[in-house]
Amino acid sequence: MLDNMADGLNDVELFAEYQRALAETTTALKRDPATMAYGLDPRYVRRPHLDLISKTLVRVRNREISKLLITTPPQVGKSVTAAVWGPFWWLANEPTSKVIVASYGLMLAVQRGRAVRKLVQDHGAEFGLKLDGGTTAANDWSLETGGGMRTVGIGGSITGHTADLLIIDDPVKSRAEADSITFRDTTDAVYKDDLSSRLSPDGATVLIMTRWHEDDLAGRLLQREGRAEDGGEWTVIHLPAICDLTIQQGGDPLGREHGDPLPHPRIAVDDREKLQRHWARRKTSAGARGWGALYQGDPKPVEGALVSDELVRQRTHLTGLPEPMKAAVAVDPAGGGRDTVGIVGGYLGTDKRLYWTHDRTAVMPATRWPREVCRLAAQLGADRIVMEANYGGDMPKVLVRTAWSALLGEWEEEHADDPGAGENPYNRLPPRIVLVRAKRGKLLRAEPIAQQIEEDRARFGARLIGLEGKWTTWQPTDPESPGELDAAVYLAYELLPVPGVDEMLSKVKNRGPVRVEDIQPSGWAAQRID
C-alpha cells in the first residue's frame, strides 16, 4: 500500500493500470504467429524467413490471400510457425473459427492437434480461449466459443467438418511416396474431393511442404490453378536453401542476393560461413536430385527413366487379376555398401503376363530378411526363390533354408493346441533356390524388362509405391543401387521368356529343392553346393 501511495496510485488505480498493460500485451501477441510464439515460448527462435511466413499468414487472415503455398527445405521451422502457432494465433483472433490441419500421416496430424490444444490449455485464458468440457481427443477438440480444431492424415475422414482455415502440412512422407504416381493421384484426389470441399465460403488454404517431385501436390496445384502474380490463385513463398534467382519467380521473398544462404533456427543469422557449411553438407548428402527438389524447391522431371509415370498407371491392375500359373520370390541381399534388402514377389498369370504383387524391401539384418522371404514364399505358394549371389556367395541360400526350417517348427509349436489352424504352410518341400549372378550392368539388365512393361507383358498387380518409384525415377548415374529394382528384374527373368536372358544373368548351379529333414544344424559347413 505504501509503495502504491509512493507511486501516486491506489489499489484500484494500480489494478486498472495492470489490466491496461495486460490488454496491450495481449493485443501485441495477437499481431502475428511469430510474435505470439516468441512472446510465449522462450525456446522459439525468430528468423527472417519465419517472420516472413508469419506476416503472410496475417494477410491470409485479413482475406487478402485465399491460397498460400509455402515451400522451404526441411527442418527450418516452417511447420512449427505455420501449423502449430498459426492455428493457435488464428483462434486467438477468431475464436469461433474452425481449423483443419492435414498431414501425411495420422500420427503427425495428432501431434499437431495435441500441440495446439496444449497451447490453449497453457495460454488460452489470456485470449479468452477455453476448451469445451466434452473435449478429450487430441485430433478433434472444440472451444467454448464455438471454434475448434480437427487434424487428419491424408485420406482420413473429415465428413461433417467445416474449415475456415485449412492447413495442409507436409502431405508427402518420403521419396517412395513422392515417386509413386498412385500416391500422387491419391493425394490430389483427397485434396480435390475431401479437403477443399470442407472450406467455408470465405475459408483459406495454406499448403506447407518441402518439394519432392515436379508432379507433387504443389506442382499440380500450380499447374492447374496458377500463381497469383500470373493471375492465378496461389500466393507462393519459395525459399530455397541457397538463393537462386534463376528459379525463384519474382525474385527472393527475403530480398537475398543470388547465392545467399537461407537462415536456420539453430545457426546465428549473421554467421554466413556456418550457414554455407550447413547447406553444403546437406547438398553433399542429398545428391543432385534431392538437393534440387527438397532443398532448392525446384524438382526436375526425371529424363531417361526406365518407364514413365503414365505407363505405370496404365500397367497397374488391382482387380480382375488372372489365376497364377507359377509364383516366385526374388531377393537382392544387402551388400556392396547397401544395407537394404530387395524382396519382390509375384507370379506368371494364366494370361501369360508377369504380375508383381508384393514388395517387402526394407533395411533388415541377416537374422530377419530370410524369414521375410520365406513368409512371402509361403503366402504366394512360390515354387522357387531367386537370389542374387554376387554378394555373400552361397550364404544367402543357407540363410533362407535355415529360416524355412525354423518357421516350420515355430508354426507347429504355435498352433499345437489349435485344431482349426489349418495346414502348416511350411510343411512342404521348400521352394527351389535359384542363385543368379549379374553379367551386365543394372541398366542393361533392366531395359529388357522395361520393354516387357511397354509391351504389356509385365504388370503391377498391387500398389507398390517403392517399386514403381524406382522404375520411374532411377537413373544410371544415381549412386543408389535399388535392391527392389534388381529383385523385380530377377523375378521377371525367371518367370517370363525374355529374349537374351542368358546374356544378362548366369545361373549358379545348385542341388535344387532341399527337404527340411535333410537340413542338419551342425552340418552346414560340410554340405556341398554344386
Q: Of 510 and 452, which is predicted with more confidence?
A: 452
DSSP letter for each residue of 473-526: H--TT-S---HHHHHHHHHHHHHS--TTHHHHEEEEP------GGG--TT-TTT
Kindly state the helix (H) or strand (E) to which residue 327 belongs, with its residue range: strand 324-332
Give the pLDDT score at 5: 44
pLDDT of residue 412 exceeding 50: yes
Span 383-406, average pLDDT = 83
Give the long-range contacts of residues 524-527, CB within 8 A, separation 24 or more. Answer: 524/398, 524/402
CB–CB of 6/14 below 8 Å? no
Domains, the chain, in order of start with CATH, read 1-30 (no CATH), 43-295 (3.40.50), 309-518 (3.30.420.280)
Residue 425 CA from chain centroid, whole number: 34
12 pLDDT band, cuts 50/70/90, is low
Span 445-462, average pLDDT = 93
Q: 363 is written with which cell numbers?
A: 533395411
Span 173-180, average pLDDT = 86
CB–CB of 404/411 below 8 Å? no
Q: What are phi and psi of 462, to 5 degrees?
A: -160, 170
Least confident of 43-47, 431-435, 488-492: 431-435
Neighbours of 508 (CB within 10 A): 17
Q: 71 is written with which cell numbers?
A: 515451400
Q: 520 is written with which cell numbers?
A: 542338419
Q: What are phi and psi of 426, to 5 degrees?
A: -100, 0
Residue 429's SS3 state is coil
> Which are the contacts of 3, defined by CB distance < 8 A and separation ≥ 6?
none
Give the pLDDT score at 42: 92
Q: Of 437 and 267, which is predicted with more confidence?
A: 267
pLDDT of residue 520 exceeding 50: no
Task: Report percent pLDDT > 90 for the chain.
Answer: 57
Least confident of 34-38, 351-355, 361-365, 390-394: 390-394
Residue 361 CA from chain centroid, whole number: 16
Q: What gap in Å lies between CA 238 and CA 250, rounded to an integer?
A: 10
Model pTM score: 0.68
Exposed, middle or buried: residue 365 (CB in 10 Å: 0-12, 13-18, 19+)?
A: exposed
Q: 331 is written with which cell numbers?
A: 531377393
Q: Of 289 and 224, which is predicted with more confidence?
A: 224
pLDDT of residue 150 exceeding 80: yes
Span 468-472, average pLDDT = 85
CB–CB of 104/112 below 8 Å? no
The candidate with the shortest Cα–Cα distance to 318, out of 451, 190, 456, 459, is 459
Neighbours of 87 (CB within 10 A): 28
Q: 47 is written with which cell numbers?
A: 528468423
Exposure on the CB side of residue 502, measured as CA atoms within 13 A? 0
Q: What are phi and psi of 367, to 5 degrees?
A: -80, -15
Q: What gap in Å lies between CA 529 and CA 518, rounded to an integer?
A: 14
> Which are the contacts of 269, defined by CB distance < 8 A and separation ≥ 6?
47, 48, 263
Q: What average pLDDT does the structure give for the chain?
A: 86
Q: What gap in Å lies between CA 490 and CA 330, rounded to an integer?
A: 6
Show the 3-state SS of 97-119.
Answer: CEEEEEECCHHHHHHHHHHHHHH
Strands 67-71 and 199-209: parallel
The candidate with the shortest Cα–Cα distance to 493, out of 509, 476, 507, 474, is 507
pLDDT, one tens digit per residue, over 106-134 is 888 888 999 999 999 999 999 999 999 87
Q: What gap in Å lies between CA 10 and CA 20, rounded to an integer?
A: 15
pLDDT, one tens digit per residue, over 357-379 is 999 998 888 889 999 999 999 99
**Pseudo-torsion of CA 141, 142, 143, 147, nearest 10°?**
120
Residue 46's SS3 state is coil
CB–CB of 93/30 below 8 Å? yes
CB–CB of 105/174 below 8 Å? no
Q: What gap in Å lies between CA 526 and CA 509, rounded to an integer?
A: 17
CB–CB of 422/365 below 8 Å? no
